[in-house]
């Protein structure tokens, strides 16, 4: 888990541990972690788009 503290390395290692050979329990954990990260990133993107759209619509008029 200490490797997960290092930026960029943590994302690479999550893919390595999720799709590499090894303990199936660890693979499932990191596949689930990647799925949650993708879901949260999607939610952040939607919120960002809504905020940008709101700001653009108020500055036009």
In a domain, 17, yes or no: yes
Task: Give the separation between CA 4 and CA 14, rounded to whole angstroms.
Answer: 8
pTM of the model: 0.79
Task: Give the separation between CA 29 and CA 39, rounded to whole angstroms.
Answer: 15
Domain count, the chain: 1
In a domain, 2, yes or no: no
Q: State the SS3 of the chain.
A: CHHHHCCCHHHHHHHHHHHCCCCHHHHHHHHHHHHHHHHHHHHHHHHHHHHHHHHHHHHHC
Full domain range(s) for residue 34 = 9-60
In a domain, 1, yes or no: no
Task: Give the separation between CA 27 and CA 36, rounded to whole angstroms.
Answer: 14
Tens digit of each residue's pLDDT (9 = 90 or more) over 3-26: 889 999 999 999 999 999 999 999
Tens digit of each residue's pLDDT (9 = 90 or more) over 39-61: 999 999 999 999 999 999 887 75
pLDDT (0 to 100) of residue 54: 92
In a domain, 28, yes or no: yes
């Amino acid at each position: 888990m200490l490797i997960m503290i290092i930026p960029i390395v943590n994302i690479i290692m999550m893919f390595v541990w999720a799709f590499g050979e090894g303990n199936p329990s660890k693979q499932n954990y990191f596949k689930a972690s990647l799925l949650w990260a993708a879901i949260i990133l999607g939610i952040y993107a939607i919120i960002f788009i809504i905020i940008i759209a709101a700001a653009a619509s108020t500055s036009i008029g």
